[in-house]
Structure 1
Amino acid sequence: MAPPARPRQLSTWRDRFAALRHVPPFLALVFRAEPGLALLSAVLRLARALQPIAALFVAKLIVDEVVRLAALPPAPVFSLLDARYRLVLWLVLAEFALAVAMDLLGRLVTYAEALLADRLSILTSIRIMEHAATLDLARFEDSGFQDQLDRARRFASGRTTLLSNILGQAQSLVTVVGFAAGLVAYAPWLLGLLLVALVPGFLAEAHFNAEGYRLSFAQTAERRELDSVRITAASASTAREVQIFGLHPFLIERYRRLSDAFYRSNASLSARRAGWGTLWAGLGTAAYYLAYGVIVARTLQGAFSIGDLTFLSGAFLRLRSLVEGLLSSFSSTAGQALYLDDLFGLLEERASLPVPAHPRPVPRPLREGFRFENVGFRYAGSERWAVRGLDFRLPAGEVVALVGENGAGKTTLVKLLARLYDPSEGRILLDGTDLRDFDLGELRSRVGVIFQDFVRYDLTAGENVAVGRIEARGNADRIREAAGRSLADEVIERLPEQYEQPLGRLFAGGVELSGGEWQKIAIARAYMRDAEVLILDEPTAALDARAEFAVFERFRELSAGRTAVLISHRFSSVRRADRILVLAGGRIEAEGTHEALMAAGGRYAELFELQAAGYR
């Protein structure tokens, strides 16, 4: 498993702008999101880019024409049909048309890019979900990966302004080139003055954008904690304990402490950015008025016409604003591209479980079952072995129970069996073939696992059962059969809308179930899967004694001919297994039937007697 991500130092300009390499694939992603809208937006932006140049040039022509006409004797009666005024009239109408077009184009751009941003957000979120589905469980148990995933998700939902930034830059660049060409034709030195005035501000803005990202990067874990505290303090799943234990003051104080730290960090950065920004903005303003004074002086000397004065002063002012905005936007894009680095970095993640080039078919039916050969495993970053030296068989068609105290390695063993992890040492065979030689998807499709911390989906009751084999969710008979096998049908049929009843309190109309009722639905998922290997991790923990007895008897009946693994702390269930494996310290300490283990004494007999004593 890859090591957790470390905060980036972003100490050099190369580091800060390296993330721009992701802009081309980002634009390709934008085009794939909605090709028609992407092309429409590009065309509209180009038209908007040319409009200010045309409008200012038309204004110059109007001023020059008015000055020319003012030198002529006035007409007795002003007439729109008088030939001398016709050019001015057409120029004014042209400027009016350009103004109307500018407004219309602006609204069309906003409309097109709002839709495009939504499509991009949808596509990006789907890409994240699709790619996350290909990654190993180990990645999701890495806090560094969780931070990266959180940043990528936030980009998908809130960073689509990057699209408008990039398209806006392209538009501004075209306008800048047009205005710059005009300045070069009249006074090339104005461009040099403009760059000298604006580049320092651009560098400062780039620096603070990088600082902003670095601060956001460093705060990712704390932000997830902040969200967790906020949700814990006010959610249906935690409300009972929070109220009973009086946790509101504690949670509110923790939220206040975390959010105050966020505020102080962000306020400090904002103050420094505002201070330096004011300084560099003042420099840009001074450069404009210096240039303006020179242009006025040259006009008074006769070098420029009044129209030229209008065009040059307007062009320099707008060019200054455009270049300043362009540099700032480019710097902002470089900052936001750092989030692209998170997005595309996530999409470049690859599963660590090896995939065979030519996988062998999973045997159907199983003949021999599973064989653990000196299997050991430890989690990434841990020096302690979760399990080690496991050497035993799980014969096909046998019900095997795993027993041991918390931390003995029972759930880890199940994860290895379902190939959520590969052993750190040793190997696991299925009918004599290493699990790593099978296609992972086909292997897992043959295994039905219900973990003790199963998910309570905010879906309908039928869909909650169907997740065991979601591609069969349209098969109502199969869903009802699976629910009947786990005795969940009794729960579902009491609901107002039965199998169409939404479960959970997240959405209006949802019904919350008891822990035992949820557990029956979770067990139904294993039957829905119709797998040859059934694994139930603490399947009856929330059931009362009568329900537990009924569920386990049904489990033994319906698992006939299948390989079944049962993890339970309740010996009333365990004792009915064909064989029991006792785990301690990550190793198999003993195995046998209930009677054999009781006769041998040892840990199993001790634990059984301790539990039995509570019923006497």
Structure 2
Amino acid sequence: MTPAPDAAAKPPKRSKPSVRERFDALRNLKPFLGQIWATSRPLTLATLSLRLVRALLPVVMLYVGKLIIDEALRLVGLGAGLSSMREWWDSGLLTPLLWLLAIEFGLAVLSDVLGRLVSLFDQLLSELFTNATSVRLMEHAATLDLEDFEDSELQDRLDRARRQTMGRMTLMSQLFGQAQDTVTIIAFAAGLVLYAPWLILLLAVALVPAFLGEAHFNALNYSLNFSWTPERRELEYIRQTGASVETAKEVKIFGLHGFLIGRFRELSQKFYLANRSLAIRRAGWGSVLTALGTLGYYVAYAYIAWRTVRGEFTIGDLTFLAGSFRRLRQLLEGLLVGFSQVAGQALYLDDLFSFFEIEPEITSPAAPRPFPSPVREGFVFEGVGFRYPGAERWAVRNLSFTLQAGEVLALVGENGAGKTTLVKLLARLYDPDEGRILLDGHDLRDYDLDVLRQNIGVIFQDFVRYHLTAAENIAVGQIEARHDRQRIVEAARRSLADEVIAKLPKGYDQVIGKRFKNGVDLSGGEWQKVAIARAYMRDAQLLILDEPTAALDARSEFEVFQRFKELSAGKTAVLISHRFSSVRMADRILVLEQGQLEAQGTHEELLAQRGRYAELFELQASGYR
């Protein structure tokens, strides 16, 4: 967890985006709309077509309303001597009025139906787009380097991108809605131009201040959300830590609830106060600037009323013009404010599209070498050095040794000696900064990355506990074979996980872990046996166990490693363990110290050298006496 900010400290701020930056962000709308079109062309065409029809209905309905008023007033002058409904009906004078009322009723029903269909299509398109974007996000994340995921800045970018997969669909509806409103505005404006063209200019001038104010506060809101991304990730982490099955035991034992709740309250209060300050200023200035638009409307309304009094407009004209001006004002205000919001949301799209622009550094060559099957010579480290990004200390350096094909190699050393780093380099999760690693005489970089990893099975100490069925937990070692139950059962037998699974209520079909209903949790040692089964499931040429048996007692670990050596006969294997009783079964042992190779040999040879290995072995052996 990142440390809580000091009470007086403020999160790092991103300066408010300039006008140019906001307009530049509009370039994101083209690929955004392109993705929507690619998601479902039929739905996109359907919603746009319906919106086009719906855009013209307000003008038509308002004009029909004008005709109804004018017709009603005409009938008032013709209705002398007609008192009962029957007399009116028989006279035939009501027919035009009834037709107009029927037309308006039909238009109202049509508008409602079209509105519901547009909402339906928008909802369906939104879900499809969200799902498609989420898939694309996961696919792209899968191509990135491990280094990227260990970078806190990229974690912030990933968090912002993940939120955009869910949060930007309002932008789709807004863009389509603005296109619909634009058509309606053109239709209303055409009617007003015929009567008083200068009213359009008055309306535009009155609405500009509200538009500029909205644009200003949208930019401030984006800046606030951007600068608070690390704190928001911390809030989510604290929320998860304070209420999850994975942390419940320690939280209860150590009484951490008060600490976590206090930390959450402190940080969330700061975020709330920052948001509240911006919201209050936005509401205050928004009210003032919107009042200018209202003033412009009533100036125009008074002008239209005056010309009606003078007899230049009919009562129907007054109704039509006043209604047109009111709707036009609302639509223009919405369009200008909406444009500002679109520009603001386009800034958020930068978070999504900029994530997709991140390119991995560890990739396959354009023309990879065929992967050796079987591996004949093995792996050779030639002067390999590596340090993690941003670190001053080398994790490993000047490493030169050979891992021969079919050999079982053990790595020992104290914490931080470079054992796990060496494994990551073998699997090309990282590339060396110095030297190179050869496989059968060729640099690892010459081979296809996916094929290389398909031939390497690694189980780390911090293996993932998937909240899936027992069979699926094993099958992740070779997910393409997840339907091969016989292979899964055999992998479980090899790792001794079959004994664990036999006790489960539903056997291999039992969901393990307590995240979901009816899930059954396992002990740490039982989880480890399931995880080790993944290595057997993979049936790779190089098998690596990186301290995956830490939760097992010494005897159980010895049995697992002994079984591993027997069952992996003919394969190349790497074992990492702190227990010397287990590593002594390896064909050769490498002793690492501060990232460098200090000694190598068999268990007996290293004991005879009376070096660090012998010292550590004696220290551990004395603990069992």
- State TM-score, norm by structure 1: 0.97
* CA displacement at 1:531 relative to structure 2: 0.3
In structure 1, the residue matched to 2:554 is 545
Runs (4+) of structure 1 moved beyond 4 Å? none
Alpha-carbon distance in structure 1 between the residues aligned to 2:124 and 2:13: 34
* CA displacement at 1:580 relative to structure 2: 0.9
In structure 1, the residue matched to 2:60 is 54
The answer to whether the 8 Å contact 1:369/1:393 transfers is yes
Q: What CA deviation, in whole Å up to 9, does each residue of 1:262-281 have, x standing for no partner?
A: 11011011001101110011
Residue pairs, 1:74-473, within 5 angstroms: 74=80, 76=82, 77=84, 78-80=87-89, 82-473=91-482
In structure 2, the residue matched to 1:67 is 73
Which among 34, 39, 42 is matched to residue 33 of structure 1?
39
Alpha-carbon distance in structure 2 between the residues aligned to 1:204 and 1:389: 61
* CA displacement at 1:73 relative to structure 2: 4.7
- What secondary structure, in the 3-state scheme, does the structure 2 residue paired with 1:390 have? strand
* CA displacement at 1:96 relative to structure 2: 1.1
- What secondary structure, in the 3-state scheme, does the structure 1 residue paired with 2:89 have? coil
The RMSD of aligned alpha carbons is: 1.4
Q: Which moved more, 1:149-158 or 1:359-368?
A: 149-158
Which among 499, 511, 528 is matched to residue 502 of structure 1?
511
Which among 20, 27, 32 is matched to residue 26 of structure 2?
20
State the AA in 2 paired with 1:191.
I
- State TM-score, norm by structure 2: 0.96
Alpha-carbon distance in structure 2 between the residues aligned to 1:167 and 1:313: 27
In structure 1, the residue matched to 2:492 is 483
Question: Does 2:588 correspond to 1:582?
Answer: no
Q: Which moved more, 1:27-36 or 1:305-314?
A: 27-36
Gaps of 5+ in 1: 1-5
The answer to whether the 8 Å contact 1:488/1:517 transfers is yes
> CA, structure 1 residues 582+435, in 2 after alignment: closer, same or farther (shift >3 Å)?
same
- What secondary structure, in the 3-state scheme, does the structure 2 residue paired with 1:510 have? coil
State the AA in 1 paired with 2:157.
Q
Alpha-carbon distance in structure 2 between the residues aligned to 1:219 and 1:8: 9
Alpha-carbon distance in structure 1 between the residues aligned to 2:15 and 2:22: 9
* CA displacement at 1:257 relative to structure 2: 0.4
Which among 606, 609, 612 is matched to residue 618 of structure 2?
609
* CA displacement at 1:81 relative to structure 2: 5.2
The answer to whether the 8 Å contact 2:206/2:293 transfers is yes
> CA, structure 1 residues 446+81, in 2 after alignment: closer, same or farther (shift >3 Å)?
farther
Q: What CA deviation, in whole Å up to 9, does each residue of 1:338-376 have, x standing for no partner?
A: 221111111222211143111001101011100111111
Q: Which moved more, 1:447-456 or 1:65-74?
A: 65-74
State the AA in 1 paired with 2:409.
V
Q: What CA deviation, in whole Å up to 9, does each residue of 1:102-158 have, x standing for no partner?
A: 111111111111111111111111111111111111111111111111111112123
State the AA in 1 paired with 2:52.
L
State the AA in 1 paired with 2:590.
L
Q: Report percent identity of matched pairs.
A: 64
- What secondary structure, in the 3-state scheme, does the structure 1 residue paired with 2:512 have? coil
> CA, structure 1 residues 80+602, in 2 after alignment: closer, same or farther (shift >3 Å)?
farther
Question: Does 2:15 correspond to 1:9?
Answer: yes
Alpha-carbon distance in structure 2 between the residues aligned to 1:284 and 1:541: 71
The answer to whether the 8 Å contact 2:554/2:579 transfers is no
* CA displacement at 1:447 relative to structure 2: 0.2
State the AA in 2 paired with 1:383.
E
State the AA in 1 paired with 2:446.
D
- What secondary structure, in the 3-state scheme, does the structure 2 residue paired with 1:79 have? helix
Q: Which moved more, 1:175-184 or 1:80-89?
A: 80-89
- What secondary structure, in the 3-state scheme, does the structure 2 residue paired with 1:71 have? helix
Q: What CA deviation, in whole Å up to 9, does each residue of 1:262-309 have, x standing for no partner?
A: 110110110011011100111111111111011111222233222221
Alpha-carbon distance in structure 2 between the residues aligned to 1:325 and 1:82: 47
The answer to whether the 8 Å contact 2:13/2:224 transfers is no
State the AA in 2 paired with 1:63.
I
Residue pairs, 1:589-608, within 5 angstroms: 589-608=598-617
State the AA in 2 paired with 1:394.
L
Q: Which moved more, 1:524-533 or 1:79-88?
A: 79-88
Q: What CA deviation, in whole Å up to 9, does each residue of 1:352-410 have, x standing for no partner?
A: 11431110011010111001111111111222211111111111111111111111111
* CA displacement at 1:75 relative to structure 2: 5.0
The answer to whether the 8 Å contact 1:468/1:528 transfers is yes
* CA displacement at 1:601 relative to structure 2: 1.6
Q: Which moved more, 1:168-177 or 1:323-332?
A: 323-332
Q: What CA deviation, in whole Å up to 9, does each residue of 1:403-424 have, x standing for no partner?
A: 1111111111110100011111
Alpha-carbon distance in structure 2 between the residues aligned to 1:26 and 1:522: 41
- What secondary structure, in the 3-state scheme, does the structure 2 residue paired with 1:119 have? helix
- What secondary structure, in the 3-state scheme, does the structure 2 residue paired with 1:133 have? helix
State the AA in 2 paired with 1:575.
R
Q: Which moved more, 1:395-404 or 1:33-42?
A: 33-42
Alpha-carbon distance in structure 2 between the residues aligned to 1:144 and 1:182: 54
- What secondary structure, in the 3-state scheme, does the structure 2 residue paired with 1:454 have? coil
State the AA in 2 paired with 1:184.
V
The answer to whether the 8 Å contact 1:10/1:16 transfers is no
The answer to whether the 8 Å contact 2:463/2:548 transfers is no
> CA, structure 1 residues 75+103, in 2 after alignment: closer, same or farther (shift >3 Å)?
farther
Alpha-carbon distance in structure 1 between the residues aligned to 2:489 and 2:109: 64
Alpha-carbon distance in structure 2 between the residues aligned to 1:185 and 1:562: 88
Q: Which moved more, 1:395-404 or 1:463-472?
A: 395-404
State the AA in 1 paired with 2:117.
L
State the AA in 2 paired with 1:257.
E
Alpha-carbon distance in structure 2 between the residues aligned to 1:424 and 1:528: 33
State the AA in 2 paired with 1:113.
D
In structure 2, the residue matched to 1:3 is none
Alpha-carbon distance in structure 1 between the residues aligned to 2:111 and 2:42: 22
* CA displacement at 1:431 relative to structure 2: 0.3
Alpha-carbon distance in structure 1 between the residues aligned to 2:147 and 2:496: 34
Alpha-carbon distance in structure 2 between the residues aligned to 1:75 and 1:531: 102
* CA displacement at 1:72 relative to structure 2: 3.0
- What secondary structure, in the 3-state scheme, does the structure 1 residue paired with 2:94 have? helix
* CA displacement at 1:199 relative to structure 2: 1.3
Q: Which moved more, 1:96-105 or 1:71-80?
A: 71-80
- What secondary structure, in the 3-state scheme, does the structure 2 residue paired with 1:566 have? strand
